[in-house]
Amino acid sequence: MSRSPSFSVKPELTIKPDLASLSRWVHSFCIMRFDLEQGQILEESYPPNRLSQEEEIEVSFNSFPDSVSQKQHNRSSIHDCIFFFRFRRDADNNNNNNNRYLYGYVFNRQRHDERLKRGGEQKSVVILSHAPYSSVFRPLLQIIGPLYFDVGNKAIEHVAGFVSLWPPPVPGMLMELPIGNATLKVNLPPPHSLPLENNGVLYEESASSMAPLLPTNQSVPQGLFHDADLFGVYRGLLLQLWTLWELLLIGEPILIIAPTPPQCSEAVACLVSLVAPLFCSVDFRPYFTIHDPGFARLNSLREGDAFPPMVLGVTNLFFLKALRNMPHVVSVGTPSLNSNRVPFSSRSSAGRLPGGKSSEGLGVQQLSLRRFSPTNLLNAVKLRRDGPLCLMTEHKEAVWTSYAAITKPDTSVLNRLVDAGMSPRVEESMSVVNNEILRRHFLELTTNFLAPFGPYFQVNAPSDGSSPYVTPPPLPSFSADEFLSNLSARGVGKFLSKRMKSNWPDLYRRFLQGPNFVPWFQRRRAVAEQEQRRLWKVARMRTDMRLITSQMNELEAVDSFDAIEKYINEEVKLRESGGGSADSEASFEKLKKDLQAVFSVLPRDMQELLLSNPQRASLLQDPSELQ
């Protein structure tokens, strides 16, 4: 990996960063050094004092490959790698409760030099951000990482200056972000895949932007980590993708183990991306170490205690023993980053494991011929005996789980995938094609799975000729038992019925009980309610109340007057707090006219009573009477 040759630090072009603007994208830049005697050391942090002491320790341990993964690659003179991690923030140092996590994007360099103490050194350049914008920070790391090792600390402030000139992030949009002579063209994940801001619905989040509607523009990301190499990471476990999709859907704890941090962090990102457009509420850690505070809590769980919903990406084989009761274990990747990939048609292993757990890592082609081969039979016996602990002696791609999947692998999708053979150049281009095929399928699968919840998000607009000031009907109430009963009676639809076993209601039942359902459902309802309020506001702006008041009886007129007055008071409060929109003045004037129209049809004695209130009287004063 290398930066653009045209990118360089020129003192006359250095831009002094605006820290407020910088914070829209980046929390801080860190330079970490691994010292043989003192361990991980924070050498530089910009802007300074952004991290608590506990957070500094957390970042330092997550910024380096552990000792096990370091031994997996050849000791060349320079070895660079990029990966990312995620950790829970210190509550005392987090001003925004919604930014409970920080993401760390790491450019790590290991340099082998016999002249140095113990023959080498390690350093990491880390970009910390509250946002999971991997499509932004991965290419940015490819610039700032090598640049730092060329010119030192001044590279950090130089790049920070360009980042602070970027416009605010707009989720779901294609953005062009200049950096030196280059421009990063990136798609940001959509609003519905990101945490809520200010404990409310994101303004950009509309009713049409979320499932259960299948998006028409497939080039726009529908979830997190749309750029992750799904096919490249799971090509040896393609038949298991549907099982993994279900496990994440229902919020089961999953341990993903890989030889290196880039492989395990990419594997976790791919898995999270599988459930798009569902908002993922499972705690995922792309690169998890034994130094994480959460490890002590997990390690203290006793036999029979349930693991919390999480996806852990690890490289240290110690986790296989420490978390031996983790119900689902996935092993991905190859021990050597420099080794050539074997075509996915020949990379397979299968077996039954202790406790009913199974391991399958089967290719697509010649599946039936390989299943009953003597080699596979011996492998199955060995896997049955050793379980995931067999990875202690030899790394292999496999899935260990006792979960019986309900969704059947879609062979028509698998048959469309292209085996690129041994050529790395052709393989990379074919991975792009295969990733699109797989993402399209799982997007369609998740969208169809969520479709039965659609009626609970159905909004209503006032009909033509009716008053827009009556109370809007509430959204349909939801009952889990009623939903499952109705769904079982009418069926799940043609798309899913062809791809799921007859016990598909069990998957919906587990989804309703899992950690993903309630946050997604409540957020989706909030979006629908926001959309309904918008439709009724539009109707109030367009409706001529003079035509409607002529058909009102006295009770309806009084109710309408009270409703309009309530909306006026809400508009006044919004304007006073500075939260009014661009059209708030027009809305306020329209409400006044409607209030006057209703007032004109009220009985004389009631008009006189209402005018006794000076504030109300000022609203009811017709401007023409003042002339």
What is the Cα–Cα distance from 219 to 390, expressed in whole angstroms? 41
In this prediction, the residues of the chain whose per-residue pLDDT falls under 50 are 1-6, 68-74, 198-199, 201, 203, 208-212, 337-372, 623-627
CB 80 within 8 Å of CB 108: yes
Phi-psi region of 371 (alpha: psi -120 to 50; beta: other; left: phi over 0): alpha
Q: Around 440, how many Cα atoms within 13 Å sit in the side-chain half-sphere?
A: 15
Task: Name the percent of the chain in helix, strand, coil, to the closest 5.
Answer: 45, 15, 40
Residue type, 557: A
* Beta carbons within 8 Å of 366's beta carbon, 6+ residues apart: 345
Reported as a single tens digit per residue, the pLDDT across 154-177 is: 999 999 999 999 999 999 999 999
Q: Give the pLDDT score at 457.
A: 95
CB 135 within 8 Å of CB 187: yes
Strand, coil or helix: 264: helix
Q: Give the pLDDT score at 586.
A: 85
The tokens 């050539």 sit on which residue? 340
* Beta carbons within 8 Å of 344's beta carbon, 6+ residues apart: 235, 236, 238, 363, 364, 419
* Beta carbons within 8 Å of 286's beta carbon, 6+ residues apart: 83, 84, 85, 86, 264, 265, 266, 268, 269, 313
Phi first, then psi: give them for residue 402, nearest 5 degrees. Answer: -100, 0
Query: What is the number of other CB atoms lying within 10 angstroms of the CB of residue 197?
Result: 15
Q: Which of 29, 46, 11, 16 is nearest to 161 (CA)?
A: 16
What is the Cα–Cα distance from 332 to 311, expressed in whole angstroms? 14
Instruction: Examine residue 47 and say whether the peptide bond preceding it is cis (omega within 30 degrees of 0).
Output: yes
Query: What is the number of other CB atoms lying within 10 angstroms of the CB of residue 455?
Result: 13
Q: Are strands 254-257 and 310-314 parallel, antiparallel or unpaired?
A: parallel
C-alpha distances (whole Å) from 347 to each of 88, 195, 235, 367, 396 are 37, 38, 9, 11, 9
Q: Around 126, how many Cα atoms within 13 Å sit in the side-chain half-sphere?
A: 31
Q: Give the pLDDT score at 600.
A: 87
Give strand ranges (E) for 219-345: 254-257, 283-285, 310-314, 328-331
**What is the greatest pairwise CA distance in the chain?**
101
What one-character DSSP code corresponds to residue 543? -
Token couple for 226: 């749309």
CA 76 to centroid of chain Cα atoms: 36
Q: Give the pLDDT score at 59.
A: 94
C-alpha distances (whole Å) from 361 to each of 280, 346, 420, 421, 502 are 26, 10, 19, 18, 25
Q: Give the pLDDT score at 126.
A: 97
Q: Give the pLDDT score at 579.
A: 63
Q: Give the pLDDT score at 343.
A: 33
C-alpha distances (whole Å) from 563 to each of 453, 560, 570 are 32, 5, 11
Q: Which of 179, 214, 168, 174 is nearest to 190 (CA)?
A: 174
Q: Give the pLDDT score at 469.
A: 87
Phi first, then psi: give them for residue 225, nearest 5 degrees. Answer: 55, 45
Q: Which of 212, 296, 227, 198 is nearest to 84 (CA)?
A: 227
The tokens 């303004």 sit on which residue? 203
Concatenated DSSP letters of 568-602 = HHHHHHHHHHT---TTHHHHHHHHHHHHHHHHTTS
CB 278 within 8 Å of CB 520: yes
CB 572 within 8 Å of CB 619: no
Token couple for 548: 């409607």
Residue type, 397: E
C-alpha distances (whole Å) from 66 to each of 24, 84, 290, 376, 547 are 31, 14, 10, 33, 75
CB 402 within 8 Å of CB 356: yes
150-155-158-159 Cα dihedral, nearest 10 degrees: 100
Token couple for 18: 């605006």
Token couple for 90: 């210190």
Q: Give the pLDDT score at 486.
A: 95
Q: Are strands 78-88 and 328-331 parallel, antiparallel or unpaired?
A: unpaired
The tokens 């045209």 sit on which residue? 6
Q: Give 88's strand partners.
A: 101
What is the Cα–Cα distance from 105 to 141, expressed in whole angstroms? 8
Token couple for 28: 């801080």
Token couple for 285: 């850690």
Torsion 65-68-72-77 (CA) sign: positive
CB 174 within 8 Å of CB 187: yes
What is the Cα–Cα distance from 97 to 608, expressed in whole angstroms? 51
Token couple for 86: 């995620």
Reported as a single tens digit per residue, the pLDDT across 183-197 is: 999 999 999 998 876
What is the Cα–Cα distance from 516 to 457, expressed in whole angstroms? 17
Q: Which of 140, 177, 156 is nearest to 16 (CA)?
A: 156
